[in-house]
Structures are given as structure tokens and as C-alpha cells.
Structure 1
Amino acid sequence: MRSLSWAGVSTLAVLFAFSDAQAQTGFGTPASAADNPAPSEQVTVTGTARASPTRRPAGQTTYSADRDTFADTPAQSVAAMLATVPGVTVQAGNGPRDTVVSVRGSGARQSNGLKNIQVTEDGFPVTQPDGIARADLIDPHAYQGVDVFQGPASTLYGNYAINGAINFRTRDGAEIDGLELGSDFGSFGQFNQYMSLGAAGRAYDLSVFASDVRGDGFVPNASFNTSTENVRLRVTLGARDRLVFKFINNVTDTLLPLRLSLSQFRANPYQRGCADAAQAAPGCASITLFRNGRSGPTVAVSPLQAGLGRFDRRTIVGSRWEHDLDDRTTWRTQFTYDQRHVDQPTATTAFVGPFNSYNVQTDLTNRVDLGRRPLVSYVAASYDYLDLGYQVYNLTPQGGATRGALNATTYGHQSNAGLRWQEDWRFAPRWHAVVGLGGTYSEVGAFETVYGYTGSSVALRGVTANRFFFNLAPEAALVYAPSRDWTLHTRVGTAYATPSYSNFFVTPQGTYGNNTQLKSQTSVGIDLGLDWHPSPAITVQATGFYEFYRNELVSQSPGIDAPAGNYTFNAPASQHRGVELAARWKPVPAILPGASAILSYTYDNQIYTDYIETLSNSTIARSFSRDGKRIPGVTPHALDARLLYDQPDGPLEGFGGFVELSWQSSFFLDNANRVSAPGYALVNLELHYHPPARFGWVHRLQSWFEIQNLANRTYAAGATVISDSLLSGGEQAGAAALANKTGSIFAGSPRAFLGGVRVGF
């Protein structure tokens, strides 16, 4: 893992200097004075590899994971790519690859996708204008690495970069240099076939990836089939012009189990004996459906009986033109079309509809000398637009996710228009400073129709969301490199995230209705960090952060039978503070040059400082102060540690492996801090073999084997926040009652044996 300044833009374009026609470039990170480091400075990094100084945003806390940390594993999802990145935690979402990725707690309170961060791939946005990105697109076999830019970052990345940004980097065609075919296979019927094709010349670089992964799952109603295609082409048109083309297509077809209550998880985590709700074993999850799919009598059914699942398609097409106006000035323009079509019968209702988005970005970068010191200036502008229209149907108990009557419909749009400006000045040989300002004008215009049924009659109720938001995000950073071994940085960053259209139409009871009063959340964060690289054997990066939030958007589940899912509210004030640590160490390079250790640790303490929550029952309402309470869903402690060995020479050259400890502490599930999701510690073992070049064609055949969850621990791989409730006497429900709140926990995989082979031609 390494520190790297390659980021992606979200709603806005950002600048960065293009130094080589064959370099991997894209929108996201502005060019900085770090492109021309002083002889005495060396920018070091986090994790497993050194960073190129041309890709580090000055003062921004940046961690990266490169291919060597996940290539020799049956990497099943983005979780494998981010395991060694501090500040990042992952939880299970709605599907085999729908990983919920959290940066400093950003998405920890969500049940699916990547939220409160901006996500790009090769500089092209994969976060739509409503702030939603999903990890279904990501098959780790296609990627060279991933870079995580942490902390409030709306100055560069626009709306929804409340906790930072992530950029995924696909492999270069020159690095693939031919055809690679691979297969992964193992427990629970998993089988992944994939291929990578790469070619490069003086004026082009082409990489093509395709995969098909399927499996049965380790719980009932969890079988899946996901296909992915990913293409990137870079073309050099001349000395001053370059084009980049991008194509991603993903089809996710998966059945879905239900999230459990804490009590159900303790009694029956893998949902054995739950196929028939009428004869279910203890601890089984079920949903309640109208017998006629409309109103009146209801019946409880299992996920298998209902046919719960997802069939989603996502297609992204993008192009970028880069033109050097002169030796000091680069102009870039980029357009991206993104279509997301969903068919999601995930609980009591089926959510169906298309989401088409358009993103255009342009920027101008100029490099000059100010007082004989390099200054990089840029301006950037962008506009994105999401056209949405979806229907929500009640499910019937007939099976096969059969749709009944309409529950709600929503039609509308969401857009963001923004400007960016930044100055990056290396004002002394060991110092440089960054100042910047970004702003976004956001609009949501949508209309929801809610259907209510009584006998043979239907009542329609309309809810209108017509909201406008304008937010500004200044930032300032200072970097000091006293020697080649040390780099110190401090930064004050700001960010904002507006509510999305979906937040406006879900009530506290989890039904469709009016929630249009929501405000933008904003944050101000202070980072203080250091990079230390005293020798080739040691790399350390540490960062402390303190962030102040206003109107933080928090989501929670009212229960599994809530037709609209999670409800979102504003917490007036909250604080996030913590420490991130990454290190790599070669303990005895002279004796065991192939031995190394990687450590990644995160401490994240998030509390409400001003929030009064009102709870009610059928007869009474009461208010409770949550000041000083931990924000639920956030893991306070997370650690990943690996001991690695790769034999560099001799008869066993090419053999290697690692032992990994992954630990996450328990965290609260509710605002009152009455009940917690259990923590866990997992041990994984990986072995691989890369035959040396002296073996001729056999060198092209690589293999690996992994045992996940070696001790066969039962653990919660994902847990969403649940709502507190009021008992009949007016007191808050205790831990025993909250433990029966459904719609929260997915169990993690029991012990699994996985292997794989890859051959190159």
C-alpha cells in the first residue's frame, strides 16, 4: 500500500498535471508542486508500496493498496482490495459484491453501496449525482490498485465528498502485455472465470477485462451470478493531444436473504431450517406480505418463498480529451454517461426503475514560477444530472418476487453544478502550501405518489420535493519535509453532502411519505500527519484527525417489514476524531529478504454533541438527549495485520504466502447505545506459487490457495443501525427488546477453502 495523489473527481473536475503520454492520468487530483520535488524531499507512504510524488495531493491524507496485496488471492469483492488500508472498514451489503465501504465512518450507517464519499475509476465518476456508488462493478482481478483520499474533501471532489474520495485504477495494457486467463473456485459453489487482454504501442494502451462469477452462498436464498466487462483505451494523437475512452458494464443477478435481529443472529446465524416460514426453526427471518398483494389479511413468508433478490444492470461510457495549450498549460474535458437500471424485490416491496445520469467536466492547469518557486494553478467546472423514475410494488406471497399493487411512484431529477479553484505553491525547498475553494449548486426536483388501499378503493397522496442547495468548501494545507526520511503535513478541509431524492420520501416509520425538511450536512476537519521512511525496510504513516459536523445525515432501520427501508434524519452537531496508522517492515532483510509485515490500524470515535431524539408509541411521545452518545454503526477499533514471506531464490523460489489477522471491535446499533453488534477476530491463511522465469513456459502459470476464517468463527459481517423505541410506560426499550429488532445483521462466511490459477500467453 502506498500514499498516492491519484484521485477522481466526482461532480467536479479537478486538475492534475499530465507529465507523460503513457502515464495513467485522469480527472481528480490537481497537478501540484510535488511533481517537482526538491532534492532533499522524499514523499513516502502508507502501506505496502512507495508512492509516486506526482500523484500525492499536498497535505491530503492518502492511503493506497496496490495489486501485490490482493492479486494472489481469490479476491471476491472490493473488501479484498481495501483490507490493508487504514481508515477504511467494510461490511456486507445486499449481494455478494455489494460491499458497504466506509471511510472514517462515512457509510457505516448504510445498508448498501458507497455513500458520503466520491468514487471514480481511472478518473471517471462512478458515483451518480444522488451520491450513490455501488461495489457490484468491481472485480478486483481487473485492477492495479486503489487510492483513498481521506477527510473532508469537497474543495476538489464536490458534493458528497464528506469523508473523502476513492479512485480505482485498472491495469495498463502494457503491464498485461498479452492474454491472461484465470479461474477461482472453492467453498459454497463459488466459481469465477475471468480474462485480461492488454496491448500497447507508442501511441496507444488498451486493457480489456471480463469476468463471470457465480456461487450458491453460505445461507439459503443467496445464490448469485455476476458478470462484468471493463475496457480502457488511451490514445496519443500527437505531441499535444491525448484521448482516453472508458467502458464498464455489470449485470448482477442474485437472490437475497434477510437481515437478522441480534437475537436471530445469536440463535441461527446461517438461517438453517428457514425455507418455510410456517415451519421455520428458531431464529429464522421472515417478512409479512398482503395475501392479495394489496391490503387486508397478511401472511409471513421466508425470503425463499417470496423470491427476494436483485437484478441490476449498470453501464458506464466515458471519454476524456487532454490538450496541452503550451508547455505550461493543460486543458482537459471529459464526458460520462451512466445508466443504472434496478429491479430489487429486497423485502416487502419491489423497487423498479431506470436512473440515467450525465456528467461533463472541464479544467485548466497552469504551471509558473512565483519568486523562482513552482506554482500550480487550476480552475475546474462541472455539471451532472440524474433523470430518475421508479415504481415500488407490494410483493405477493405467490413466490418468484411476484408484484402486486403499486405502493409508490417517484419521478424527478437531481443535479449538481460546481466550480473549483486551487493554488499549490512550493514556496521553499522543504515547504509547500495549498489553498483552494470549491462550490456546488445542487437541485432536487421530484414528486412521489403514495398509494393507500382500503377494500376496493385506493387513495392517492402526493409528496413534492423541490429543494435547492448552495455550499462552499475552502481548504488549506501545509507540507514540510525536513529530510528525505520525514514528511509532515497538516490540513484544514471542509465538505458537504446534500440529501438525495430518496431521503426525502421515507418517514420515521419506514413508509413512503414526507421527509422533505432535511438539510445539507457539512463538516470541517483538521488532519495532522507524518510519513517516516528511515530505511528501505521501514515505512510508517500516521494521521490524527478531528472533524466537526453540522446536520449530519444519519440513517436507521425501522425493521425488516418497513416497505421503504431506512429513514434518514439530521443530527444538529456531532464530532468525529481518531487515529490512522499504517506500517510496513522488513525485520531481517539480510537474513530473510522475503519476510515482511504489514499493519493497518484505525481508531474512530464519533459522538453526538447536540441531538434530541423524539420517540413515540400509540399514546405518548418523549424526547431524549443523545449528547455524548456514540454514533451507532461506527467501528471504534479496526486492525489488519499480515506476516508475509516470498522466497526470492533457490529451489523454492516463487513460493510464498501470508497469515492475516483481521479484527474489528463491537459497535453500538442504536442512538441510545443500549445494544451492540459483536466484535470479531478472523485469521486467514494464503499460499501461492509463481514459478521462476528459468522454468520456461511454466513461468506463466500461477496458482494460489486460501483458507478464510481459519478458526471457523461465527461473526456479523454487516450490521445496520436500528431505531430505538418507546415502551407503553414511556420509558426507552432496553437491550433485550432492541435485540429483537429485525433488519440489521448479515452473518459472515464460515470457514471457506478457495483456490485459483492464472495463465498468461
Structure 2
Amino acid sequence: MSAPRFRRPRRVLALALAASPLIPAAAQAQQSVTLEELSVVGAGGGPVADPRGAATPGVAAPVPAAPTPVAAPVGQVNSRIGRGDVIDDRPAVNIADVARNSPGVTVRQGNGPRDVIISVRGNNARATGVSRNFVVLEDGFPVTQADGSSRFDITDPRAYGSLDVFRGPQSALFGNYASGGALVFDTRRGAAVNGFEYGVDAGSFGYLNNYATVGGISGPFELSLFTSDSRGNGFAGHSSFNTQTINLLGTYTPTPDNRFTLKIINNEFQANLPGRSSLLQFYQNPYQRGCASALTAAAGCVTYALPVNGRNGATAPVTADEGGFFRGDRRTIVGGRYEHDFDAYTTWRTQLVFDDRNINQPFYTTSARGDFPGFNVLSDVTRRGDLFGMPMTGYVALAYNTLDSNSLTYVRAPYGGARLGALNANLAATQDNLGGRARVELLLSDRWTATAGIGAETTAITGRNITYGYPTAGGVTVASATLDRSFLNVAPEFSLTYRPDEAWRLLGRVAAGYATPSASNLTVTPAGVPGNNTQIQTQENLGFDLGASWAPLPELQFSVTGFYEFFRNELIAQSPGAGLLSYTFNAPASEHRGVEIGATWASPAGWRATLAYTHDDQIFTNYTEQLSAGTRTARFNRAGNQIPGVPADAALARFGYEQTTGPWAGLGAFVEAVYQSDFYLDNANLLKAPGFTVVNLNLHYDRVLPGGAAVGFAKRLSLYVEVRNVFDRVYTNAAQNLADSISGTTGLQNGAGVLAATTGSIFAGAPRNVVGGMKLAF
């Protein structure tokens, strides 16, 4: 049985946004003023290139548009991470190697080698695969779907020129799901590549990555194309993988006032997945070795109980090998943008993006198969001029995005590879977001800048979820839940920036963010049965920031930011009672508060240093959790408890040297330490995942080849080798939250020992390994 698909007439209206421009702002000003960007934290090594990729000397790039507030933000708490010491000189395996260079960011492993879970100020710390609570853009095109889902399988670090991390609530600028921040990637422009590059990385555990980039300019055309093929055996049992990525950015500028941009991303991903262990199993067998069969499994191997007949009754324990656990996903994104300058002060943009996520995920006790196609439309106007005699940049936008969710969930059956059992659920739903955003950046004086913004958005979710049950007595039960919810959200933002001199910048900011439930949150009622979860509300965040940055010398930058965020109606899972389904519940209130410190130093003598540190204290202030077992149900007050999954302290420190002159110019090395404190795994704060410090060593050499004749026609040679986890530390690279439980006999809460033996939480980080590579530019 298939469920009907629901569509909204608002799609017709939204697609029409691409047909006509917004009305430009008032009369043309006497002069154009672009406000200077405030970057509270400058992360990354050395000077940071323009994210679009500065043109190579002698290469005339097409005339770019004036930057929008998204591309050149004022009054934001954001970090810009460039390529130096982060991408160019090291084998960056996944985006975690880049993102952790920003204060406020913690990363952990998801379900696959590039499926990284990124958390900004602890937001998204509860994620188990799909990332939510922040918005992701690439070259100005959204790669977050309408239900808030983002995944980083498509993200090969080699393709990018920079990453901007926007910290704190950002819905006034980025809309729904930007309750915790935003990530803005920019690929290298054709002018920056100016030729052809080929590279290869190889290392321990069969790791091999071949990648190539071609880019350049020809008249009004500019193109950059990145491709990669990455594969490996994995350091844990049953963790081999291979993934192929294509990333294209092309622009056509027929006249200085008109620009067309094409963006294409395609990723094919295949990965075997090991079992997530309990804390006790992690200490016994962190890398899940010797786990080919449950009958002969070594101590600490993770097993899952799958029904022998694929639907009910007797079960058999299987390891990851026996169960054939894997992910086989595809993601395709195609976007187009048109930009037109009405005059020297007013730019209109309209863009349309098609985004299709196709999944096949038969791992652990269920298998998910589905297709999630969506569209995203944006039309905006940026105006630079005067307001009340003061230089101003104004921005107004209309945005619409939609997603069709077509998902089938099956019971897993043991043995014979990734074998499916009976159909468990069929979800067909549509989510639409339609809203507008406006922003003004006003230069009050040569020292004071004010920004004000607001966003308003409606969200509608319609569809149907059909759940199938298979009683041991025989037969099939069918329960249908019709989904029909709508939400209206408003998010304001205001900031003041003060620059007493060239060295100091001070910032105060207050902003709101929101994240609506997705279709899957609506399929179980508070009674614990299939139905429309009508009580659920939007998750909201009100955040305050105070920051200062100091740059006494061009080569030295330091910043500190204090933040205090108040969450309301945080979306979490709740148990309604014995023998019933868990449902999504709004925890009434929690608080996130902390300090972020960033520093970079790049001396003329060649010494370099980078620091990114975060202290993040998060507590529930109003939350009662309900637990059940057998015939018992109990409620526990969690107010004052630490929010699980969030380390109190996290830091990256890197120190190195680059030879800048003489015959050895281009030779460099650095040592890097990544630290993360322990954190609670459960709402009751009974069990902690251990903290760790991992040390990496890097040696690299980069040199322009004279005359291009040293290696064929190559212009530049880059060599690098890195020893990771030098001291072979066993650590938790991912630790998912665990649900507390009670005794079915006494109704009392079970202790830490029960949690420590509960599987489904931990992936170990990689042991000591060596990765090296080379890159040639032609």
C-alpha cells in the first residue's frame, strides 16, 4: 500500500519568484559604500584568501557582483577558515579537519568516513546521522533541504577555498533550521586554479584518494571543476568505503551588469558500517576486530538481535559482517543563478536549486530506503547607498523551499548479506517553507556600525504515515496517521559594532533562531500510538553575544566571544508509557552559555600558530523526562542537569614553521593537538564518555617549479606527509546519547552500570596512522 503525496498551491507562487525582480530600494545615492566585514574570529593558518578565490596575477576575472550580507557579513560572530595549514599542506580526509579550526565547533564521526556530525555551540549534539539546527550553503546555493537535513558525504575538503562558520542563532539571515548557526562553503574559482591540478593521497588501512581540479577563464566564461575518488579498508572491522564526488562551479558574464552561475554537485557513496558499541565494549574491543561471526566473536564485539523470519518472534544475534550493514546513498544538486545590476548600487539575484537525496541504508535493526527530491527558490535585492545621510547596505529577500519525503522502512533479517524483512512503515510527506527576510547595515559613524534584520516564515507539513505490525499470532495490523501541521515563525536580529581604532573591534549582538519539526517528528502522538503529533511546537533560540577582536600587528589576531543562549521547546524524544512508542516532545527550557577564543599568528620569520578554544556549559532549566518499563512508568525532573553530548571544553592548537626564503623555501612542519573533555551520555547525568587529546605531526613542501620544466609541464609541486594520533591514543570519535531506563519490577531508575552495557553509542577514533600525498599544478 502506498500513501498519497500531498502538494501545496504555494509552490506555484514560489516558483514565480524567479520570473520577476523585487522592487529596488529608493533613489540612487551619490556614492557606493560597502561596509567592511567584521570577523570576530580569524581561524586558519596565515592570511586568508578571498572565498571566491583571488585571481592569479595576469588572469582577468569576470567582474563580480557586489557582495551580499551573506558573503560579507557585518555584525556577525563568524570565523573564516582558509586553505593554509588546513587543506593545502595536509591530507584533509573529511570536513572535520577543516571545521574544528573554528571556535564553537565540535565534530564527531557519523555513519561513514565523510559523514561528519558538526555541532556549533553544542547545537546538533544529539544528531545521529542527519545534521540539523544549522543551515549549509555552498557558493551561495543551499545544500540544506527543506526539512533541515544536511549531510557532509558530498563534502570533499580539496574542493574548497574557504569555510565561514556563523555562530549563534541565524534565522533572520538564513531562515528555518538556522537556530544554532550556519556554514558557508566557497569552492575555488577558476581564476584561482588557472590550469589543471592532480593529486593523490595514500595511507594506512588502504586509504587512497585521487583528485583533480581544472579551472580557468576564457572571455566571459569562468569554470572550476573538482573530481575525486576516495576509498579505503577502514581501521575498524567492517568499515571499508568508497565515494566519488563531482563539484562544478561555472559563471558566464555576457555584460558587466549580467551574470549567470551554474552549480552542480554529485556524490555516490558506499560504506560498510561497524556496530556502535557500549562503553564497556569500547574498552574491550574499540576497533571491533575479530567480529566476523557472532558464534566465534571476540570479547567486546557488538551484535544485534534480528528476527529470524524478518518480522517477529525468535531472533538471532548477528555482527556487522553477518548483517551486511552498509549505506549506499546518492546526492545530486543542480543550481542556477541570475544576477543583474540595475545600477552601480543595486543588484538583483534569483536562483533555483534542485536537490535530490536518494538513500539505501540497511544497517542495524531496520533498513531505510527513500527518495527526497526538493526545490529551493531565492530572489533578493542588495542596495548600497545612504539612509538619513549615513552609508547603508540594505538587503531584502523572498525564499521558498519544498521537499517530498518518500521513505520506506523495513525490518532487517539476519544472514545472507543486507537482507530485508517485512515492511515496517511507509511515509509520504511534503514540507514547504515560504518566507521573507530583510536586513540593514548602517554606518552610524567612522567607528560605529549598526545592523538590524528580521525574518518571517511559514512552514506547512502534510502527508501520511502508514505503520505495519506483525503479531506473533499471525496477520498484519495497519495504522495510518494523517499529517497536517503549519507553523509561523519570526526571528529578529540586532547588533552594534564599535571600532575605536584599526586594531580593536567590539561587538554586541542579540538574535533569534527557530527550527520547526520535520515530518518524522509528527508520526507518533503523546499517547504513544501512530497519529499526528499535534502538540509539538517550534524549537526556538534567543542568543546574546559580546565579542572583541584585537589585531595589534598584521600577522597577529586574537578574539574572544561570550555567548548566552536561551532555548525554548527543544525537540527531544520522550517515552509515553509502558509498551508504547516514543514520541517527539518539547523540553520547555534550557540554557547554553560559554566563551570562545581564537588566535592566529604568522610571523614574517615563518613561525605560525593557531588556537581555537570553546568552553560550553549547557543545562536543562525546565524538563521532566518520562520513562517506562514493563507495567511501570516514572517521571524525573532533569532541571539543572547537563545536556548530554556536549563537551564542556574543546580546543585545537597548532604550532609550526614555514621556510620562506632560500633554496628550501616552501618547506614546513607543524604539530597539532586536538582536545575534547568528557561529557555525559544521558539526561540523568549518570555516565560519561571519556575525553581525549590527539596529537598530529605534519611535514610538507610546496614549491613553484622554474620554467615548468622540472616535472613535465608542471608549474608547482606540493608534497606532504602526516602522522596522526602520534601517541596511539584510544578515544571515542563518536558517542551518541543513551536513553535512561527504569526497572520494570521496582520502577526505580537504573544506574550507570546498565547504561555502560547498552550498545548503540560509540565509534572509536582512528589509531596511529600515516597519510601522505602529492599534488602537481600544470
Give TM-score scaled by structure 1 length. Answer: 0.91
Name the amino acid aligned to 2:637: S
Distance 1:299 1:569, change over 3 A: same
Structure 1 partner of 2:644: 632
Q: Hey, what does 1:473 align to over in structure 2?
A: 491
Tell me the equivalent position of 2:763: 746
Deviation at 1:570, TM superposition (A): 1.7
Cα distance in structure 2, aligned partners of 1:362 and 1:36: 21
The AA in structure 1 aligned to 2:168 is G
1:705 alignment counterpart: 721
1:584 aligns with 2:580: no
Residue 653 of structure 1 pairs with residue 665 of structure 2:
yes
Counterpart of 2:353? 336
Match of 1:616 among 628, 638, 646: 628
- Distance between the aligned counterparts of 1:563 and 1:298, measured in 2? 21
* 1:91 and 2:120 aligned: no
Q: Which moved more, 1:503-512 or 1:126-135?
A: 503-512
1:686 aligns with 2:698: yes
Cα distance change of structure 1 residues 753 and 343 upon mapping to structure 2, 3 Å threshold: same
1:666 and 2:678 equivalent?
yes
CA deviation after TM superposition for structure 1 residue 652, in Å: 2.0
Q: Do residues 303 (structure 1) and 315 (structure 2) align?
A: no
What is the Cα deviation at residue 423 of structure 1? 1.6
Matching residue within 509, 517, 523 for 1:505: 523
Distance 1:557 1:222 in 2: 33
Q: For the residues of structure 2 that align with 1:414 and 1:251, how far apart are their CA atoms?
A: 25
In structure 1, stretches of 5+ residues that fail to align are 1-10, 15-32
SS of equivalent to 2:115: coil
Aligned equivalents of 2:646, 2:731: Cα separation in 1: 16
Distance 2:671 2:545 in 1: 32
- How do residues 471-620 of structure 1 correspond to structure 2 at under 5 angstroms? 471-505=489-523, 515=533, 517-554=535-572, 568-586=584-602, 589=603, 593-620=605-632
In structure 2, C-alpha distance between the alignment counterparts of 1:510 and 1:343, rounded to whole Å: 28
Are 2:66 and 1:58 aligned? no
Instruction: Name the aligned partner's letter for residue 515 of structure 2.
Output: A
In the TM superposition, residue 512 of structure 1 has moved relative to its aligned partner by 7.5
Choose which of 42, 46, 69 in structure 2 pairs with 1:46: 42
Residues 96 and 44 (structure 1), Cα distance of their counterparts in 2 relative to 1, 3 Å cut: closer
Give, in angstroms, the shift of residue 513 of structure 1: 7.0
Corresponding residue number in structure 2 for 1:19: none
Task: Describe the shift of the 1:392–1:35 C-alpha distance in structure 2 as closer, same or farther (beyond 3 A).
Answer: farther
The AA in structure 1 aligned to 2:517 is: P
Matched, 1:76 2:93: yes
1:416 aligns with 2:433: yes
1:81–1:145: 8 Å Cα contact kept in structure 2? no
1:527-586 per-residue CA deviation (whole Å, 9 max, x = no partner) reads 11011101123101111100001001235999xxx999x964321000000111110124
Verify: 1:166 aligned to 2:188, yes or no.
Answer: no
1:614–1:622 contact (8 Å) kept in structure 2: yes
Q: How far apart in 2 are the matches of 1:452 and 1:177?
A: 59
Q: CA deviation at 1:200?
A: 1.1
Question: The residue matched to 2:409 in structure 1 has which SS?
Answer: strand
Aligned positions, number: 723
Question: What CA distance in whole angstroms lies between the structure 2 residues aligned with 1:661 and 1:535?
Answer: 25
Match of 2:362 in 1: 345
Distance in 1 (CA, whole Å) between partners of 2:291 and 2:685 is 31
d(CA) in 2 for partners of 1:555, 1:688:
47
Distance 1:509 1:654, change over 3 A: farther
2:628 & 2:435 partners in 1: Cα distance?
41
Distance 1:510 1:249 in 2: 39
Number of the residue aligned with 1:116 = 133
Look up the SS of the partner of 2:286 in the other structure.
coil
8 Å CA contact 2:48–2:82 kept in 1: the answer is no
Shift of the 304–563 alpha-carbon distance from structure 1 to 2, 3 Å rule, reads farther
Q: Which amino acid aligns with 2:43?
A: G
Give the residue type in structure 2 aligned to 1:424: E
Deviations 1:606-649 (Å, cap 9, x if unpaired)? 10000011122212222111111000011110010001111111
Structure 2 residue runs without a partner (length 5+): 1-13, 18-30, 51-65
The structural deviation recorded for 1:290 is 1.1
- 2:268 maps to what in 1? 251
| 1:738 match: secondary structure | helix
- Residue in structure 2 matched with residue 7 of structure 1 by the alignment: none
Return the alpha-carbon distance in structure 2 between the equivalents of residues 508 and 738 of structure 1: 25
The structure-2 alpha-carbon separation of the partners of 1:118 and 1:195, relative to structure 1 and needing over 3 Å to count, comes to same
- Structure 1, 721-730 or 133-142: larger mean CA deviation: 721-730
TM-aligned CA deviation for residue 50 of structure 1: 5.4
Please give the alpha-carbon distance, in whole angstroms, between the structure 1 residues aligned to 2:657 and 2:574.
43
Read off the aligned partner of 2:210 and give its amino acid letter. Q
User: Structure 1 residues 57-66 or 130-139, which shifts more?
Assistant: 57-66
CA RMSD of superposed structures (Å)? 2.5
Q: Is the Cα–Cα contact under 8 Å of residues 39 and 80 in structure 2 kept in the other structure?
A: no
Q: Which residue of 2 aligns with 1:462?
A: 480
State the 1:56 CA deviation: 3.8
Letter in 2 for 1:461: A
Cα distance in 2 for partners of 1:438, 1:322 equals 22
Superimposed CA distance per residue, residues 26-49 of structure 1 (whole angstroms, 9 cap, x where no aligned partner): xxxxxxx996358xx986741234
Checking the alignment, whether the CA contact within 8 Å between 1:556 and 1:567 is kept in structure 2 is: yes
**Which letter maps to 1:36?**
T
Deviation at 1:336, TM superposition (A): 0.1
Whether the aligned pair in 1 keeps the contact of 2:311 and 2:421 (CA below 8 Å) is yes
Query: Does the aligned pair in 1 maintain the 2:40–2:78 contact within 8 Å?
Result: no
Deviation at 1:278, TM superposition (A): 2.0
SS in 1 for 2:281: helix
Closer, same or farther: CA 126–145 of 1 in aligned 2, 3 Å: same
Q: Deviations over 1:289-311 (max 9, x none)?
A: 11111222111111110111111
Q: Residue in 1 aligned with 2:737?
A: 721
Aligned mates of 1:311, 1:207 — CA distance in 2: 27
Are 1:287 and 1:300, in contact at CA under 8 Å, matched by a contact in 2? yes
Q: Which amino acid aligns with 1:729?
A: T
Cα deviation for residue 695 of structure 1 reads 7.7
Deviation at 1:446, TM superposition (A): 2.2
1:116-151 CA deviation, whole Å, 9 max, x = no partner? 000010010100001001000001111111001110
Is 1:557–1:720's contact at 8 Å kept on the other side of the alignment? no
Equivalent AA in structure 1 for residue 606 of structure 2:
G
How far did 1:99 drift? 0.2
Deviation at 1:486, TM superposition (A): 0.7
1:384: which partner in 2?
Answer: 401
CA deviations on 1:667-722 (whole Å, 9 max, x unpaired) are 00000100011100000001111134448544522110001100000000001111
**How far off its partner does 1:160 sit?**
0.1
Cα distance, 1:682–1:134 mapped onto 2, change above 3 Å: same
Residue in 2 that maps onto 1:398: 415
Residue 511 of structure 1 and its aligned partner are, at CA, apart by 10
Q: CA deviation at 1:376?
A: 1.8
CA, structure 1 residues 46+34, in 2 after alignment: closer, same or farther (shift >3 Å)? farther
Distance 2:136 2:39 in 1: 24
Amino acid at match of 2:42: T
Are the aligned partners of 2:375 and 2:401 in contact in 1 as well (CA < 8 Å)?
A: yes
Aligned residue type for 1:81 = V
Q: What percent of counterpart residues are identical?
A: 46
Alignment-mate amino acid for residue 581 of structure 1: I
Residue pair 2:41, 2:77 contacting (<8 A) in 1 also: no
Q: Distance in 2 between matches of 1:230 and 1:563?
A: 45
Map 1:125-140 → 2, pairs under 5 A: 125-140=142-157
Superposition map of 1:141-290 within 5 A: 141-290=158-307
